[in-house]
Amino acid sequence: MAKRPTMTTSAGAPIPDNQNSLSAGERGPLLMQDYQLIEKLSHQNRERIPERAVHAKGWGALGKLVITGDISKYTIAKCLQPGAETPMISRFSTVAGEAGAADAERDVRGFSLKFYTQEGNWDLVGNNTPVFFVRDPVKFPDFIHTQKRHPKTNMRSPTAMWDFWSLSPESLHQVTILMSDRGCPQTPMQMNGYGSHTYSLWNDKGERFWVKFHFKTEQGHAYYTNAEAANLIGKTRESYQEALFGSIEQGKFPKWKMQIQIMPEAEAEKTSYNPFDITKVWPHAEYPCIDIGYFELNKNAENYFAEIENAAYSPSNVVPGISYSPDKMLQARIFSYADAHRHRLGTHYENIPVNRPKSPVNHYHRDGQMNTYGGIKTGNPDVYYEPNSFDGPVEEPRAKEPPLKISGDAARYNHREGNDDFVQVTALFNLFDAGEKQRLASNIAEAMAGIPVEIEERQCKLFDQVHADYGSSVRAAIAKLKASS
């Protein structure tokens, strides 16, 4: 048998005995000089890092993005050129639950993708829904507080959720998807992913196009009813991890078709809705989905913590040929996601192997905790500022995107004025068959159980404005539930 490796301290010294601590006499006490024991205990104390404030519970895997279509007229992005194959890692998640939450809970699912391109990492940090609850980021922390635990009871509060939603009509679109069948997918493989925000692509002529990214499941959609999910959670809290991890271990690699919708830059002025409003979709009839390729997940992480928990996705990570849009929620996430990782993982989180680009990294940031980057590797110690005369890394003009055209005065614009919060929800409601409409109403009634009647009614009045049947079916489901309890 091959000789087994020697166990060592973190400083590399051989450990002579990992079964018995060092004591003064057989019965103790222990000695301070047993630094191996002290190192072991102190590491255990530091095993947990700050949990993500949102999207704490997650599941992920590695794979590849393959481009089969030709969208070179829209973008210079190397990873989007015909035939490009790009290694990637994904992380799916629920939003509200903590790291130990059950997987099969009704919640929006995070759908985060990191592509290790030839020109840096491109992160798409989306959801399994094409829209979001709020359109102005100033409302985001308040919204999340309503989804988390009440400060006194330490329990989640349906009153807070419905109070906030009923006072925020822009949430109706996302609330309707959340309470519909797609609000509780059976596994991460059986849901779509959406970039959700409007981003932009730009080409070698300096033209910008607005773009939406879509990832359509090739496994088919499948959902749990509330009763099925409750039953499953009673048996296992890890159903998503079991399904995704198990499928990949068995060589069944899940796939998603990648599609884009494209809007010429000037058309953004003409649409009847604000195309940068994340509570809206772009209707397919106006902006058809174009097939451009697929991604496949084909490898489980070797170490969940190192690769999935440490994976840090941020919409700030774009690469030449791909950029942002004026979407206010996107603009705020460009700051807040990278900042969350600096807090959670440390200043140099992009140097952790799972986050480290596979293309060269040459920046002039210096020092800081856990800096293992160690400066620019030119062999010349004088290269530590810019500009310099010592052949240090320089700018790449090809990476300069076209100017973002902006008009308007700086002001706090009322995001509700002139914004229709109902038409697209009506279109969605009309897509549901009778069975899904009935499940929608009963899911909402169950989620509202115990909240004050005036909040219940305020929310039902919003449903009335989507469709008379929506309001009336929810009222009937509430009455039925109250009568049976």
**Which residues in this chain contact ligand NDP in the complex, by CB under 6 A?**
130, 177, 180-182, 192, 214, 281-285, 424, 427-428, 431-432, 436
Contacts of 339 (CB under 8 A, 6+ apart): none
Q: How far, rounded to the nearest angstrom, does the alpha carbon of residue 59 sit from its chain's CA centroid?
A: 11
Q: Which is nearer to ligand NDP, 214 or 333 (CB)?
A: 214
Residue 94's H or E segment, with its range, is strand 85-94
Dist CA 297 CA 63 (whole Å): 4
Q: What is the DSSP secondary-structure string of 321-348?
A: TEE--S-HHHHHHHHHHHHHHHHHH-TT
CB of 259 to ligand NDP, least distance (A): 8
Shortest distance (Å) from residue 249 CB to ligand NDP? 28
Nearest residue (CB) to ligand NDP, 51 versus 267: 267
Cis omega (within 30 of 0) on the bond before 14? no
> Inter-axis angle of helices 453-466 and 468-484, to 10 degrees?
150
Q: Is 127 among the catalytic positions?
A: yes
Residue 56's SS3 state is: coil
Nearer to ligand NDP among residue 177 and residue 445 (C-beta): 177
The residue among 173 and 341 lying less far from ligand NDP, judged by its C-beta, is: 173
Query: In a 3-state reduction of DSSP, which class is residue 365?
Result: coil
Reported as type and span, the H/E element at residue 217 is: strand 208-217
Q: Own/partner pairs for 283-286, CB < 8 Å, 24+ apart? A: 283/424, 283/427
Q: For residues 175 and 301, which CB has a smaller minimum distance to ligand NDP in the complex?
A: 175
Q: How many Å apart are CA 449 and CA 438, to the nearest integer?
A: 17
Our CB check for ligand NDP shows the closer of 69 and 283 to be 283
55 is catalytic: yes
Minimum distance from residue 13 beta carbon to ligand NDP (Å): 57
> Euclidean distance between the first and final Cα of the chain, in Å?
67
Least spacing, CB of residue 423 vs ligand NDP, in Å = 8
Q: Which is nearer to ligand NDP, 191 or 340 (by Cβ)?
A: 191
Q: Least Å distance between CB 192 and ligand NDP?
A: 5
Going by C-alpha positions, the residue among 29, 161, 196, 86 that lies closest to residue 452 is 161
Using omega within 30 degrees of 0 as the cis cutoff, is the peptide bond preceding 50 cis? Answer: no
CB contact at 8 A, 202 and 402: yes
Q: Least distance from C-beta 280 to ligand NDP, angstroms?
A: 8
List all residues 6 or more positions away from 44 whose beta carbon is below 8 Å from its beta carbon: none
- Closest-approach residue to ligand NDP (CB): 428
Active-site residue identified among 18, 45, 121, 127: 127
Residue with Cβ nearer ligand NDP (94 or 279) = 279
Number of other residues whose CB lies within 10 A of the CB of residue 368:
11
Cβ of residue 275: shortest distance to ligand NDP, in angstroms? 12
Q: How far is CA 423 from CA 171, 273, 469, 472, in A?
A: 13, 10, 15, 18
User: In the chain, how long is the greatest CA-to-CA distance?
Assistant: 84
> Would you give the DSSP letter of residue 103?
T
Q: Can you read off the two tokens belonging to residue 9?
A: 């301290």
Query: H-helix or E-strand containing 228?
Result: helix 226-235
CB of 214 to ligand NDP, least distance (A): 6
Report the residue number, 334 or 425, with the smaller CB distance to ligand NDP: 425
Amino acid at 15: I
Provide, rounded to whole angstroms, the least separation between the CB of residue 224 and ligand NDP.
Answer: 14
Catalytic residue among 43, 45, 55, 348: 55
Residues assigned a catalytic role: 55, 127
